[in-house]
């Protein structure tokens, strides 16, 4: 019989999981040995960066990504980055090496004691096979769990299992296929269509799943048939709708009372592909205005169950969108032109206002550029200046944990080599995933990193003002020069002195990774 490893490699190849993101340790070497031709190993220097790259790659490619972590230490290092993958519902198959089976009980060096418990309750599914012969089936389950549950699935495998003989049933796993259909039933569809059609002042709230599922343009068609305002759900991690479309009202604020105020006057709020809602600041109040009905459509069973208000239909947003487009018939009159972009604000002194930076990006970068953004203190400037009209244009850390931005940008660029990719990264967040620059240099990834340096955790300063603690320690981070750090990792870098120099740099052809460091004025995110 073939070995467990050979069956595993063949299964992963059939499932299209041939790019492995990892930082190997001794427990992982037996799995990595003899990877078939066509597999690619993407080496990261820290597990947080490894997961961030895989997260960006999976989101941009639309396919699950395979991650290899080292026992307990590597899995622990990856946990922070996995929070973003969980919140963005990114399907990751996470394999961790384990000590040989006879060494687990005595807790030999590099044993991952109770490996599944280490990762729970964060990941969607976690396991360690009871015996070597169960590894192929368990690996298949991890792949299907990641796909069906839309999130990371974790499998710990003792390293002596890979060379064990598979049993006669193992090859059957190669033919496995698991699919999911989520169309609403006829009666459910009829009720929903009638409710939406009868609304006098409907509002549409769209989540990141709309972009993830390829429904960006369908969402525009649906909005134009409804004719009402459109918001992105709070804490949005993908842009589900063109942000300068005349119906777009922006990203809903992440507080209970401001959301209620924003939705005032609407008799129906239809939420597609988003939780209800991912609040941040604790601003209490009514969840919804008096007389407003909310209907949530999501594939995420947990999001439907935990929502504090409204009705929920657990179904495929694509099927529901198609049903509503058919039921609502032809679009109404034209909704008007896209809204113009205001002139960018300026800053006094040598520092640039973030709006000046984003205006330069908008005007100098190709219209199909994909932006990976992790500069939370510049949110308001970002949405004032950008004009994003294409799917897959925006990626943001879904759980708010820093460290996704730089690695995520590398992953997006790896997945979409024919599309320009720009990482807009704050100096506070850059440190969490800085080792991703080495991977970008080694793989010669075509990527522009726009590093905004203001010397402080700007978003924390703003939040401290909200909490009434503006003088908390640890908010300033002076003395960081990312041009020198980038050059040490093999990435070309330069300090940008002004808007003309920035525009000239952005207009240059991109051949491999580059970093542009820009000193910016401190602004507020809201």
CA distances from residue 259 to 156, 205, 220, 271, 328 in whole angstroms, order as listed: 42, 11, 22, 13, 27
Please report which confidence band the pLDDT of residue 462 belongs to, taking 50, 70 and 90 as the band edges: low
Alpha carbon distance 16, 350 (integer Å): 50
Nearest to 92 by CA among 341, 404, 509: 404
Rounded to the nearest 10 degrees, the angle between the axes of helix 186-198 and helix 317-328 is 60
For the cut 90, the answer to whether the pLDDT of residue 271 exceeds it is yes
The answer to whether the beta carbons of residues 7 and 56 sit under 8 Å apart is no
CA distances from residue 373 to 67, 228, 378 in whole angstroms, order as listed: 23, 29, 10
Nearest to 155 by CA among 163, 165, 146: 146
The answer to whether the beta carbons of residues 242 and 248 sit under 8 Å apart is yes
Return the pLDDT at 456.
66
If you compute the radius of gyration of the chain from its CA atoms, what whole number of angstroms results? 24
Return the pLDDT at 463.
62
**Mean pLDDT over all residues of the chain?**
91
The tens digit of pLDDT for each residue in 402-423 reads: 899 999 999 999 999 999 999 9
* Residues contacting residue 94 through CB under 8 Å, at least 6 positions apart: 51, 67, 69, 75, 78, 82, 119, 123, 142, 152, 153, 154, 155
Return the pLDDT at 1.
80
The answer to whether the beta carbons of residues 91 and 148 sit under 8 Å apart is no
Hey, what are 371's tokens? 């932006």
The answer to whether the beta carbons of residues 162 and 4 sit under 8 Å apart is yes
Alpha carbon distance 215, 319 (integer Å): 10
Rounded to the nearest 10 degrees, the angle between the axes of helix 71-87 and helix 47-61 is 40
Alpha carbon distance 275, 266 (integer Å): 19
E-only strand ranges, 401-524: 421-426, 447-453, 492-496, 513-519
Return the pLDDT at 293.
92
Nearest to 95 by CA among 173, 36, 158, 147: 158
Quick one: average pLDDT of 95-111?
A: 91
Q: Return the C-alpha torsion angle 86, 87, 92, 96, nearest 10.
A: -30
**3-state class of 269 per DSSP?**
strand
Altogether, the residues listed in the chain come to a count of 526
CB atoms within 10 A of CB 513: 30
CA distances from residue 435 to 71, 72, 175, 195, 213 in whole angstroms, order as listed: 20, 20, 38, 51, 30
CB atoms within 10 A of CB 351: 16
Hey, what are 250's tokens? 């922006």
The tens digit of pLDDT for each residue in 329-375 reads: 877 777 788 999 999 988 777 899 999 999 999 999 999 999 999 99
**3-state class of 238 per DSSP?**
strand
For the cut 70, the answer to whether the pLDDT of residue 477 exceeds it is no
Terminal-to-terminal C-alpha distance of the chain: 61
Q: Which residues are catalytic?
A: 25-26, 28, 47, 70, 280, 400
CB atoms within 10 A of CB 478: 8
Please report which confidence band the pLDDT of residue 159 belongs to, taking 50, 70 and 90 as the band edges: very high
Model confidence, pTM: 0.91
Return the pLDDT at 305.
82
- Name the β-bridge partners of 422: 371, 448
Return the pLDDT at 475.
65
Return the pLDDT at 509.
93
Alpha carbon distance 359, 362 (integer Å): 5
For the cut 90, the answer to whether the pLDDT of residue 522 exceeds it is no
Please report which confidence band the pLDDT of residue 385 belongs to, taking 50, 70 and 90 as the band edges: very high
CA distances from residue 84 to 58, 123, 343, 426, 522 in whole angstroms, order as listed: 13, 11, 33, 17, 26
Return the pLDDT at 467.
62
Nearest to 252 by CA among 218, 277, 226: 277
Return the pLDDT at 457.
66
The tens digit of pLDDT for each residue in 242-268 reads: 999 999 999 999 898 999 999 999 999
Return the pLDDT at 439.
98
């Amino acid at each position: 019989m073939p070995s467990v490893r050979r069956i595993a490699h063949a299964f992963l190849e059939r499932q299209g999981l041939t790019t492995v993101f990892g930082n190997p340790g001794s427990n992982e070497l037996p799995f990595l040995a003899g990877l078939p031709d066509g597999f690619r190993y993407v080496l990261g220097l820290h597990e947080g960066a490894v997961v961030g790259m895989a997260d960006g790659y999976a989101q941009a490619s639309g396919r699950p990504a395979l991650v290899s972590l080292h026992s307990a230490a590597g899995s622990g290092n990856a946990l922070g980055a996995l929070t973003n993958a969980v919140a963005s519902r990114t399907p990751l198959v996470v394999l961790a090496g384990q000590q040989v089976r006879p060494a687990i009980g005595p807790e030999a060096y590099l044993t991952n004691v109770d490996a599944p418990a280490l990762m729970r309750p964060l990941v969607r599914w976690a396991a360690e096979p009871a015996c070597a012969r169960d590894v192929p089936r368990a690996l298949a389950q991890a792949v299907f769990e990641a796909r069906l549950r839309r999130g990371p699935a974790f499998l710990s495998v003792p390293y002596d299992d890979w060379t064990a003989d598979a049993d006669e049933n193992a090859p059957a796993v190669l033919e496995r296929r698991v699919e999911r259909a989520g169309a609403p039933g006829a009666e459910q569809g009829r009720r929903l269509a009638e409710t939406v059609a009868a609304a006098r002042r409907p509002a549409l709230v769209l989540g990141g799943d709309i972009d993830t599922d390829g429904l960006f343009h369908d969402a525009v068609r649906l909005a134009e048939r409804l004719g009402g305002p459109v918001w992105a759900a709070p804490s949005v991690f993908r842009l589900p709708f063109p942000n300068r479309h005349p119906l777009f009202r922006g990203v809903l604020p992440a507080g209970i009372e401001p959301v209620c105020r924003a939705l005032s006057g609407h008799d129906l709020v239809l939420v597609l592909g988003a939780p209800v809602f991912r609040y941040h600041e604790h601003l209490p109040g009514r969840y919804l205005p008096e007389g407003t009905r909310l209907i949530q459509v999501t594939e995420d069973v947990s999001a439907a169950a935990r929502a504090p208000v409204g009705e929920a239909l657990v179904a495929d947003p694509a099927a529901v969108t198609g049903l509503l487009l058919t039921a609502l018939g032809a679009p109404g009159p034209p909704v008007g032109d896209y809204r113009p972009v205001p002139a960018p604000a300026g800053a006094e002194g040598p520092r640039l206002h973030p709006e000046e930076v984003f205006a330069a990006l908008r005007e100098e970068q190709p219209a199909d550029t994909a932006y990976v953004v992790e500069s939370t203190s510049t949110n308001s400037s970002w949405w004032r200046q950008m004009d994003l009209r294409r799917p897959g244009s925006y990626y943001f850390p879904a759980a708010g944990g820093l460290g996704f931005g730089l690695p995520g940008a590398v992953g997006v660029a790896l997945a979409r080599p024919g599309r320009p990719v720009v990482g807009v990264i704050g100096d506070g967040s850059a440190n969490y995933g800085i080792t991703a620059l080495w991977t970008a240099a080694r793989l010669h990834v075509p990527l522009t990193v726009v590093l905004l340096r203001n010397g402080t955790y700007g978003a924390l300063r703003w939040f401290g003002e909200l909490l009434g603690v503006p003088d908390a320690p640890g908010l300033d981070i002076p003395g960081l020069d990312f041009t020198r750090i980038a050059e040490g990792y093999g990435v070309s870098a330069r300090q940008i002195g002004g808007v003309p120099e920035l525009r000239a740099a952005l207009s240059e052809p991109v051949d491999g990774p580059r970093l542009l460091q820009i000193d910016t004025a401190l602004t507020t995110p809201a």
